[in-house]
Structure 1
Amino acid sequence: MPSPGFQKNWMLYKRLLTYLRRYWKVFFASLVSLSIAASTEAAFVSLMKPLVDHGFVGKDLHAIYWIPPAIVGLFVLRGVTSFINEYSTSWLTGHLVQTLRQEMFVRLLRLPVPYYDDNMSGRLMSRITYDADQVTVAGFNIITVSVKDGITVLSLLGYLLYLDWQLTLICFTVFPAVALCIRIVSKRLRKLSHQSQLQIAQVTQILNDSITCQKLVKIYGGESYEVGRFDKASADLRRNAVKQVSASSISTSLTQLFIAIALAFVLYFAALRAQQNVLSAGAFMAFLSAMTMLFAPIKRIANISQSLQKGLAAAESVFAFLDETTENDHGTRQLASPKGQITFQQLSFRYPHAEKWALEDINLVIQPGETVALVGASGSGKTTLVSLLPRFYDPTQGQILLDGLPVEEIRLASLREHIALVSREVVLFNDTVAANIAYGRMGNVSRDELMAAAQAANALEFIEAMPDGFDTVIGEHGVKLSGGQRQRLAIARALLKNAPILILDEATSALDTVSEHLVQEALEKLMQNRTTIVIAHRLSTIENADRIVVMNHGRIAEIGTHQTLLAAKGLYANLHKIHFRES
């Protein structure tokens, strides 16, 4: 009965081969050309016997005339078939890697937010960039070596049996020892390959952190610390590579030793049989050539274990990622034009592995077109509450209704299509100004629409002053823009989306007074005729809200207008007094 490890490896290979179904003709051509190229090895050796016996010993001119052209013809055939195999293999490998990366990227975009919370971005990137590429090692490179060298070894062994089966049996005595050696080393290599994947992810993560946080590194003098982190991760990766090479080298050395011992016995007994005239000079030369030519393919087959285990470990990682559970999107309802009534009904939420509830027993109804502000100390649950509306997280208890319809019954794409978000941490792409604004509404957006959105967001003036206007590339995370400019681009993007529900998550908290004034003007235009939830750090920005919800330790502590809450002299009044003092 096959071992669990063998069954697991076979399942990985079986799944990998399913990607080749659409290209089976190219794959078949690759295998045929590979088989022909491998068969020329034994065909070449078979010409040694007549060349020596008839050409050199028998002085047969006919043999001298036909054998050299035959050798040239064999190598021409080998060259053509090898080219076909290498070209088709490269073509198939490229398509396989592209397909895997596309599927992984699609899966990445559909993973739930908690998955991103629990996994390093460096590991996610290395899986798509590195692991997907390494899968081809388990795919085509292993198939190439196995088929080509396997056919070469079998054809040479067949010819050896034909020449002298008794001498050939000596060769078979080394196979069990070689197989045992490969099996032991394979387990070691698989473990090291898994460690290597994690270490590459760690290196990628440190690089990503150092690039993203380069200003922080400079201002706090963190260069030495980051160099130390990178040196340690690089050293771990280097040591792992050395361990893999050492394990593979030991396997190769032992395999070659076993073959050398077998060869020594073969040469000894072949010389005895030649003295007894059982073997002709040509047969002995052909036998010796075939034995010698067995070295290279057997060595490659012995070395295949390292590539195989690395490839299988990568395939295991890739398929585990592709099998990750995507966002829960079992809704069937499609929203046409929602009014924007939002109901939080007995809502409670706790983050995975957290001891305390982030939200407890939230009951709140927001009417269409109403502006509701959420205030409270840091950690009171404001951002968590608004994150549940677009279903970045699902409630632990209770439910959220949109126009009386539970949000889990609505298709995710339809739900999010009607929600716009402007947050304190503005996310911009390393693309043009136009592309970043047009992201608010996927599809064809005219330049007039872009200009109208920019104008409403108080962004048109600074955009037109840029070197290429709307076609100016703003750099990674909008690094070429000021904080206020980035914020106004985000507002323009939300304006273009024209969603009936708007979430403002501390959209002005990090801005200076002038920028805040411009952004606040743009926000007021954006909020018109929309159901708006505002998370406010500066209480002066939400004094005109229809209602203010004061949160404390995940619960609603107070609800009312600015004036009624001040008159109540409760938590909001206290927060307002502190804010006024700071101002």
Structure 2
Amino acid sequence: MRVSTASAQRQPTSDTPTIATLARLLPFVRPALPRMGAGMLAALGAGLCALAIPQVLESLVNGPLAGAAESGDARGLWTAVGAVLGLGLLEALFVFARRRFILTPTTHVEAQMRTSLFRHLQDLPLAFHDQWPGGQLLSRSMSDLSMLRRWMAFGIVMLVVNLVTVSVGVGLMVATAGPLGWVYLAGAIPMSFLSFRFSRRFRRISRQSQDQAGDLATTVEESVHGIRVLKAYGRGPEAYRSFSAQADQLRRTEMNKARQMSAFTFSIITIPELVLGACVLWGIWLVTQGDLTVGAIVAFFATAAVINGPVEQLGHLLSMSLNAKTAVDRYFEVLDSPNLVADPEEPVEIAEPRGEVRFEGVRFHYPDAPPADLVRAHSQVPHEAPRAEVLCGVDLTVRPGETLALVGLTGSGKTTMAALVPRLFDVTAGAVLLDGVDVRRMTRHHLRTHVAIAFEDATLFSASVRENVLLGAPPDASGDDDLERALEIAQAGFVHNLPDGVETTIGEEGLSLSGGQRQRLALARAIAARPRVLVLDDPLSALDVETEEAVTARLREELADTTVIVVAHRPSTVALADRVAVLQDGKVTGVGTHSELLADHLHYRFVISSLIEDEEFDRARGVRA
């Protein structure tokens, strides 16, 4: 069962230093480093050009400007003006070069990180996806990576450049106006303390904000997918109130975040301004005493004006870096999640499978759902935590070409057995063998070219009927022939009456079709894969009894050489099977034909009587319809 995170405890932000965390981006960023470095140099060049202008102004005030006032010769003045103009134009050129160098490679880095995450999500086992809310994964792959791109394109570059610009600027202020520069530098002491305190608080709030945004995305996703249920039961207002409460919680977190940011920004703007106010008074006194030239004090305050912008940006850039650190933490929480159903190092392939499936001492329990406060730290989830077993030592052989029905009460382990054959989960103990080879010794791709599965919950994609049915078809599939054969066996000829026939695009999750139509298309998809072993996990539950019998009869006729394992919930299905395996409390307690088990197996008779009641109800409902 998927873990709800709407009211989950927040996972605390990693204590790993920010620089160490952001350094994990290096493998992705390495190809873009040359252009990013060139962009950073261009930005640094722009900052140095801006710092050079006050030095020209000092020379202008102490030299050409004073000389022009005495002699009337303005040639030196125009030279200085030309130098300032040239530096300004050069600064603008550097800014343009920074954008040209950096913007394109950072978009490539974002795209690479997004595809790497998606590839890993596709590779992770079902246990991971059962435990992680879709909205959390969506927010990590979209909003978090967009934030990282903006930080790489602007935040890190300007943070480094601004720190260098401020350092060089303060050095020039000390060199130009000695004691005034030291006073200005003294203002960095309280700013350093405030920055440290701000970073500790802001990291926690940033993590909380991004997690809540993921929860909100999950709520939207679930509401959209379950819109029919919400409307059918009139629960729209309740869903709205729940969403509104979550949205308000996120708003309060963002407001807290903004308050922290505004308080820090106020401090780092106010402290330099107060220091500059003190420097004005002291500087005037130094000029009157002859200890400082007018040009020096002009250069000092012009330099201060240049570095005030970078100083004021430091708060925004620091918060941006902390947000990026949180985004990296969240991204790698998923990327670091181990794949517990991995391919072997030395895989075995079966060239011509016969289709024998054997369960040997199979035991299985599902991984425990993680505690709420570990939902976002999946790598810490105790996968081996003990839990009640679903299968408790199953021994069963399904012969090649045989149709075997799995029968049992709800919770007896039928669906679990079906999922173990294509290795959607791995056994906890024992082994599942295909033609004598443990399925864990094969690659998942090779195994699933021989084993196909159709689920009760039919999932279709926003694509054409053709694309949905031929999704798992082998590379040598003949296209139309395989498509028509699969549709005919699955009794899915209704697709030819759709507006564009097999080229009709199915809406999201196929909700524009009825439940029975979706199931028949999902079954056609499994048939089109030409499997040697076909696993049917009650894929016809939404069909009326007559249609199910027609589909089952065609399956037996067309797939006579295919091994079929079917989770049966109707006596009509059971009767068509070659043999039946009875599951009771996670164990196979009987195997035989339908007639043999009716005669000798008490629990089987009880299960069948329950199925007959259900089938009679389905028939009556069909007659009334």
CA 249–126 in structure 1, closer or farther in 2 if over 3 Å, else same: same
In the alignment, what sits opposite 2:19? Answer: 10
Which residue of the partner structure matches residue 135 of structure 1? 148
| Aligned counterpart, 1:262 | 275
Q: Matched residues in 2 for 1:67 and 1:357: separation?
A: 85
Q: SS at 1:357's partner residue? A: coil
Note the C-alpha offset of 1:7.
Answer: 6.0
CA contact (8 A) 2:469 2:483 kept: no
Work out whether residues 42 and 156 of structure 1, in 8 Å CA contact, stay in contact via their aligned partners in 2.
yes
The Cα shift of 1:518 comes to 4.7
2:330 to 294, 300, 317: 317
1:353-364 residue pairs with structure 2 within 5 A? Answer: 353=368, 355-364=387-396
The answer for unaligned runs of 5 or more in structure 1 is none
Residue-pair matches, total: 580
Question: 1:65 maps to what in 2?
Answer: 78
- Whether the aligned pair in 2 keeps the contact of 1:491 and 1:523 (CA below 8 Å) is no
Structural mapping, 1:93-242, within 5 Å:
93-242=106-255
Aligned AA (1:575)? V
Judged with a 3 Å threshold, the aligned counterparts in structure 2 of structure 1 residues 146 and 514 are, in CA distance, closer, same or farther, namely same
Equivalent residue, structure 2, for 1:343 = 358
Q: For the residues of structure 2 that align with 1:180 and 1:289, how far apart are their CA atoms? A: 27
The DSSP-based 3-state class of the residue aligned with 1:343 is strand
Contact 1:491 1:522 in 2 (8 A): no
Aligned counterpart in structure 2 of residue 48 of structure 1, from 54, 57, 63: 57
Deviations 1:296-316 (A, max 9, x none): 111111332211111101111
Residue pair 1:484, 1:515 contacting (<8 A) in 2 also: no
1:88 aligns with 2:101: yes
**Matching residue's letter, 1:335:** I
CA 1:554–1:345: 2 relative to 1, 3 Å:
same
Task: Tell me whether 1:302 sits opposite 2:315 in the alignment.
Answer: yes
Q: Distance in 2 between matches of 1:325 and 1:234?
A: 32
> Where does residue 295 of structure 2 map in the other structure?
282
SS in 1 for 2:396: strand
The one-letter code matched in structure 1 to 2:93 is V
**Structure 1 stretch displaced more, 438-447 or 113-122:** 438-447
User: Does structure 2 conserve the Cα–Cα contact (< 8 Å) formed by 1:420 and 1:503?
Assistant: yes
2:520 pairs with one of 488, 495, 512: 488
Cα offset, 1:86, TM superposition: 1.4
Secondary structure of the residue that 1:529 maps to in structure 2?
Answer: coil
How far apart, in 1, do the equivalents of 2:16 and 2:576 lie? 66
**TM-score (normalizing by structure 1):** 0.94
Kindly provide the amino acid, as one letter, of the partner of residue 319 in structure 1.
F
CA distance in 2, matches of 1:5, 1:120: 21
Provide the rounded CA distance (Å) in 2 between the counterparts of 1:117 and 1:5: 24
Amino acid at match of 1:57: A
Q: Is the 8 A contact 1:13 1:139 kept in 2?
A: no
Query: 1:522 & 1:193 partners in 2: Cα distance?
Result: 58
Indicate how the Cα distance of structure 1 residues 220 and 50 shifts in structure 2: closer, same or farther if over 3 A, else same: same
Residues 293-340 of structure 1: CA distance to partner in whole angstroms, max 9, x if unpaired?
A: 322111111332211111101111112221111233225112222111
**Cα RMSD over matched residues?**
2.1
- Could you tell me how far 1:407 is from its partner in structure 2? 1.7
- Give, in angstroms, the shift of residue 5 of structure 1: 8.2
Q: Spell out, residue by residue over 1:340-396, the C-alpha distance to the aligned partner (whole angstroms, 9 max, x if none).
A: 111111111122236422111211111111111001111111001111112222212
Could you list the per-position Cα deviations for residues 157-186 of structure 1 after superposition, in whole angstroms to 9, with x for gaps in the alignment? 232123122211111211121111111110
Distance of 2:15 and 2:291 partners within structure 1: 45
2:402–2:563 Cα contact (<8 Å) kept: yes
Task: Tell me the residue number matched to 1:328.
Answer: 342
Find the counterpart in structure 1 of residue 263 from structure 2: 250
> Pick from 30, 42, 47: which aligns with 1:38?
47
Residue equivalent to 2:504: 472
Q: Which amino acid aligns with 1:441?
A: A
Q: Is structure 2 residue 441 aligned with structure 1 residue 427?
A: no
Among residues 8, 19, 30, which one is paired with 1:21 in the alignment?
A: 30
Q: Which amino acid aligns with 1:73?
A: G
Q: Secondary structure at the match of 2:576?
A: coil
Which is further off, 389-398 or 495-504?
389-398
> Structure 2 stretches of 5 or more lacking a match?
1-12, 369-385, 617-625
2-side partners of 1:446 and 1:344: how far apart? 34
CA distance in 1, matches of 2:142, 2:206: 16
**Are 1:457 and 1:489, in contact at CA under 8 Å, matched by a contact in 2?**
no
The amino acid that maps onto 1:329 is D
Do the aligned partners of 1:126 and 1:201 also contact (CA within 8 Å) in 2? yes
* Cα shift at 1:35: 1.4
CA positional deviation for 1:556? 1.5
Cα 1:350–1:7 change in 2 (3 A) is: closer
Counterpart of 1:426 in 2: which secondary structure?
coil
Greater shift after overlay, 530-539 or 57-66? 57-66
Q: Secondary structure at the match of 1:58?
A: helix
306-315 or 396-405: bigger deviation:
396-405
